Amino acid sequence: MQVRAAQGSLRALLWDVDGTLAETELDGHRIAFNRAFAEHGLPWRWDRSTYIGLLAISGGRERLRRFLRRQQGEEPEGSLLDALHQAKQVHYRELVVAGEVQLRPGVRRLIEAAAAAGLQQAIVTTSGREAVAALLENQLSDQSRWLPLRVCADDVAAKKPDPEAYVLALQRLGVEPGQAVALEDSPAGLAAATAAGLRCLVTLSAAFSQASVSLFRSASSLTDGLGEPMAPTRVLQGPACAGGLITLSYLEQLPPVP
């Protein structure tokens, strides 16, 4: 692929992972947690509505801790928390390797376009590094090299909606907030991005498809996806999208954060 120097004011794309790159939450992490519960002989099973409720808490380990505390009425033992979370990570990787978790439509297209245009790209997530690597290696393969910077849960003290992860990514890339766009799917991710001064495109994932649009009023654009030629995106808030495809030109025209 021929790469040209980045033009215009857009120099970087900052990608969230869970729900943005792929429908990992309901189709991946939730199922992996349920398998971990079954493996340890525990009676709990998270259905879709239960898990969507738990998504108000950033980070899988934090969600698990909150759930166990609610079930047991006290702070869970560290050994149980560790065992369940480690088992969940194994099951999640198995799901990804088996192809049960796929990139959302338009993601590969936009990553390729950004790479061809010479833009920097980074992962900014509250997920663990191992889970991120599993998804990128299995879904993007050699193209994962276009996302060399990965700011993960282990790199920051505070998770989204705190902006720490985005601030760190901007520092490591050497770009100003106005030169980058964040791609997110959740209210917490949007809050983190805008608090860091970033324009933010929200592509609603399955977990947030029924959420009130008012939760995303600070988004530069709110859509139901990035779009493909046979499945154009629908803009719910923000600039109109000609052709139904989110492109670099579309991202560059997004209004700045107030």
Start and end residues for every CATH 3.40.50.1000 domain found in the chain: 12-23+103-252
- Give the N- to C-terminal CA distance of the chain in Å, as an integer: 37
Residue type, 59: G
pTM here is 0.93
The pLDDT assigned to 35 comes to 99
- Reply yes or no on whether 18 is catalytic: yes
| pLDDT tens readout for residues 169-217 | 999 999 999 999 999 999 999 999 999 999 999 999 999 999 999 999 9
For residues 17-31, average pLDDT? 97
Q: Where in the chain is the domain with CATH 1.10.150.240?
A: 26-97
pLDDT attached to residue 2: 39
Check residue 8 and give its pLDDT: 57
Single-letter code of the amino acid located at 166? Y
Instruction: Please choose, from the candidates 210, 151, 208, 140, the residue with its C-alpha nearest in 3D space to the C-alpha of residue 182.
Output: 151
How far apart are alpha carbons 152 and 165 in whole angstroms?
Answer: 8
Cβ atoms of residues 195 and 163 within 8 Å: yes
Region 23-32: mean pLDDT is 96
Per-residue confidence (pLDDT) for residue 257, from 0 to 100: 83
H or E element in which residue 104 lies = none
**Domain topology for 12-23+103-252:** Rossmann fold (3.40.50)
Residue 115: both structure tokens together: 């790479």
Mean pLDDT value across residues 99-128: 97
Domain 26-97 fold: DNA polymerase; domain 1 (1.10.150)
- Residues 159-168: what's their mean pLDDT? 98
